[in-house]
Chains A and B, each alone.
Chain A
C-alpha cells in the first residue's frame, strides 16, 4: 500500500501523458477544473461527478462549543461546510485496492 501524497503536479502530469498538451497547459487545465468546482460550491451549488462522488454545501447553525483544553464555553457562529459523498464505484475501488 502507498501512503504517498500526490499533488496538482501529479494530476497535471497525468493529463500531460494522456492528451499530449504542454506541461504548462496541463497544469492550467487542472487548476481551472478546481476553480470551476470551487466557484460552484461557493455559489451554494452541488457538484455531482458521476462515478466519482458528490460535493455538497451544508448550513450549520450556531451552537455553543467548548474549548476541550480549558473547558471554557465559546460560541460557534453559523457556518457553511462542505461534505463529500463518494460514489459506490469509488468506495468499491478504494475498499478493493486496500484489502490485505
Chain B
C-alpha cells in the first residue's frame, strides 16, 4: 500500500469529503508525526505503535573503502516500536 492508495481508501469511505481534503488530512497526520519527532517528542498510538527519537552517541568511524578514520558526531534518529495489538494481529493472535 502506498500513500495514494491509503488516500483512496479513506476517500471511498467518506464520499462527502473532497478528495483534496482527504489528501490534506492524510498528509497532515504524517507531517504531525515527523514534526513531533523533529522537536524530540514521542508519538504514542496505542494498538499501532510508538514513534520516538533515539540518540546515537558520537563515535570514531571508519570509511570502509579507504580505511580512513572519521569522527562521527552525536546524532538523533527516528525509531518505531510496534504496538502490542498490531504485533499480536501480525501473528494471528488477535
Residues of A within 8 A of B (CB): 1-8, 10-11, 14-15, 18-19, 21, 26, 29-30, 32-34, 36-38, 40-42, 45-53, 55, 57, 79-84, 86, 89-91, 93-100
A residues in contact with B46, CB < 8 Å: 7-8
| B1-47 CB contacts (< 8 Å) to partner A | 1-3, 6, 9-10, 13-14, 17, 21, 24-26, 28-34, 36-47
Contact B2 A15 (CB under 8 A): no
Task: Sort A-B residue pairs by CB-CB distance and give the 7 closest, nearest first.
Answer: A97-B38, A84-B80, A1-B40, A98-B76, A2-B41, A2-B40, A40-B1
B residues in contact with A18, CB < 8 Å: 24-25, 28
A residues in contact with B41, CB < 8 Å: 2-6
B residues in contact with A19, CB < 8 Å: 21, 24-25, 28
Contact A2 B39 (CB under 8 A): yes
B residues in contact with A5, CB < 8 Å: 41-44
Chain A proximity of B38: nearest CB distance (Å)? 3
Judge whether B90 is part of the interface by a CB distance below 8 angstroms: yes
B residues in contact with A96, CB < 8 Å: 38
B residues in contact with A49, CB < 8 Å: 2-3, 6, 30
